[in-house]
Amino acid sequence: QIGTYKCFASQPCPLPSPNPSYSGEEYADVDWDSLGFGLMPTDYMYISKCSEGQNFGHGQLTRYGNIELSPSAGVLNYGQGLFEGTKAYRKENGGLLLFRPEENAIRMQNGAERMCMASPSIDQFVDALKQTVLANKRWVPPAGKGSLYLRPLLLGTGPVLGLAPAPEYTFLIFASPVRNYFKEGSAPLNLYVEENFDRASRRGTGNVKTISNYAPVLMAQINAKRRGFSDVLYLDSVTKKNLEEVSSCNIFIAKGKCISTPATNGTILSGITRKSVIEIARDHGYEVEEHAVGVDEVFCTGTAVGVAPVGTITYRDTRMEYKTGSGSICQELHNTISGIQTGIIEDKKGWIVEVD
């Protein structure tokens, strides 16, 4: 079903195609070899609305474009919004795959409960992802050239003045072809341990993928990048001694056959890539522990990031270097999870959802 949409540009609005799942072109006009991690608007986005006390129904595909919000929308005034991130991959034979999309749906539902919001069902969420992928099929990069990043949003769009849940919610998905998240590509990252700013506090929303968690890290991230670092590694807000997260991804510490990662105790986001890496690592014979950790070999995981090696961590002007490259645990786990995601390695866990 194709919905109407509003244009805010001066030029005439193009009409939606009668069949958004087929554009007549196999691929969009993109230099896939130069693809980075930046917004490249695709053809369609998905939108569904829900009033307070009701359930989300069937949404619709509309042309990618601006949305109209009341200036008193809950998301604008009180930050009542959530987002997710997942990817669609193209196999060598052209088939399209999603990786564990139901986990994103569950995480959005959990976040919605914490933020007093209505949320789509798991089936609605996954079906909306499939519709968005098919409508933007020509934007899914060729096998080995990247992926189609999908950004589901849940927004309090109903008008409010006093502090209260919004009376209406909008579920929206847009997409963009992407490749490496960090400018370093697959090269090791250089992280800076931040002591002046906290990412999250206990009993807050650090474990929820709410939009309000991310703008507060920008100052520390910008300062670190100005000094030549890839990103910021945060400490816990109570003791300032334990590792927590990087700005937008989880972190792992490896030594020998033991892998450690901070426990999801309320301040750390339960990453889907994190969860998958833990299971894969155990399958490969590693002992994985979730607790307060020190540092030895370090790597990061996240949907946008994937599994990325960390080459150095700088803490109080002391720079520590870590093993990376061929033969590292990070490389082994990266090869396995990316192989499953792209259909190169057989999925024996039921993680892959085919889009057709």
In this structure, the answer to whether residues 222 and 78 fall within a common structural domain is no
Asked whether residue 205 is domain-assigned, the answer is yes
Percentage of the residues of the chain whose pLDDT score is greater than 70: 92
CB 105 within 8 A of CB 64: no
Asked whether residue 34 is domain-assigned, the answer is no
User: pLDDT grade, residue 8 (50/70/90)?
Assistant: very low
In this structure, the answer to whether residues 87 and 120 fall within a common structural domain is yes
In this structure, the answer to whether residues 101 and 174 fall within a common structural domain is yes
Whole-number pLDDT of residue 6: 36
Q: Give the β-pairing of 96-99 and 189-194.
A: unpaired
User: What CATH code is carried by the domain that includes residue 51?
Assistant: 3.30.470.10
Which of 149, 178, 207 is the C-terminal boundary of a domain?
178
Whole-number pLDDT of residue 16: 45
Asked whether residue 9 is domain-assigned, the answer is no
Does position 21 have pLDDT exceeding 80, yes or no?
A: no
pLDDT tens per residue, range 189-207: 999 999 999 999 989 999 9
Q: Distance from first CA to last CA of the chain, Å, rounded?
A: 16
**Is pLDDT larger for residue 52 or for residue 85?**
85
User: pLDDT grade, residue 292 (50/70/90)?
Assistant: confident
Distance CA 35, CA 164 (A): 42
Nearest to 100 by CA among 88, 92, 111, 91: 88
In this structure, the answer to whether residues 229 and 133 fall within a common structural domain is no
Whole-number pLDDT of residue 80: 98
If one counts the domains in the chain, the total is 2
In this structure, the answer to whether residues 334 and 224 fall within a common structural domain is yes
Question: Which residue is it, tokens 């129904």?
Answer: 57
Nearest to 286 by CA among 329, 237, 251: 329
Between the alpha carbon of residue 79 and those of residues 108, 117, 165, the distances in Å are 15, 12, 10
Distance CA 64, CA 221 (A): 30
pLDDT tens per residue, range 266-276: 999 999 999 99
What residue numbers bound the domain in which 273 lies? Answer: 189-342
Please give the helix or strand (H or E) that residue 63 lies within, else none.
strand 60-63
| Residue 293, both tokens | 């950790």
* DSSP-derived secondary structure letter, 12: P
* DSSP-derived secondary structure letter, 16: P
Distance CA 75, CA 155 (A): 6
| Residue 133, both tokens | 């992928």
Number of residues in the chain: 356
Known catalytic residue at 91: no
Does position 11 have pLDDT exceeding 50, yes or no?
A: no
Whole-number pLDDT of residue 24: 56
Does position 105 have pLDDT exceeding 90, yes or no?
A: yes
Tell how many helices (H) and how many strands (E) occur in the chain: 6, 17
Among 19-28, 116-125, 306-315, top mean pLDDT goes to 116-125
The reported pTM is 0.90
In this structure, the answer to whether residues 327 and 194 fall within a common structural domain is yes
Specify the range with the lowest mean pLDDT, choosing from 106-110, 258-262, 315-319, 330-334: 315-319
pLDDT tens per residue, range 214-272: 999 999 999 999 999 999 999 999 888 899 999 989 999 998 999 999 999 899 999 99
Nearest to 30 by CA among 38, 19, 20, 18: 38
Does position 15 have pLDDT exceeding 70, yes or no?
A: no
Q: Give the β-pairing of 147-156 and 168-178.
A: antiparallel
CB 46 within 8 A of CB 152: no
In this structure, the answer to whether residues 132 and 202 fall within a common structural domain is no
Whole-number pLDDT of residue 20: 55
Distance CA 197, CA 349 (A): 39
Q: Which of 137, 209, 257, 275 is catalytic?
A: 209
pLDDT tens per residue, range 31-79: 999 999 999 999 999 999 999 889 999 899 999 999 999 999 999 999 9
User: What CATH code is carried by the domain that includes residue 282?
Assistant: 3.20.10.10
Which of 129, 150, 178 is the C-terminal boundary of a domain?
178
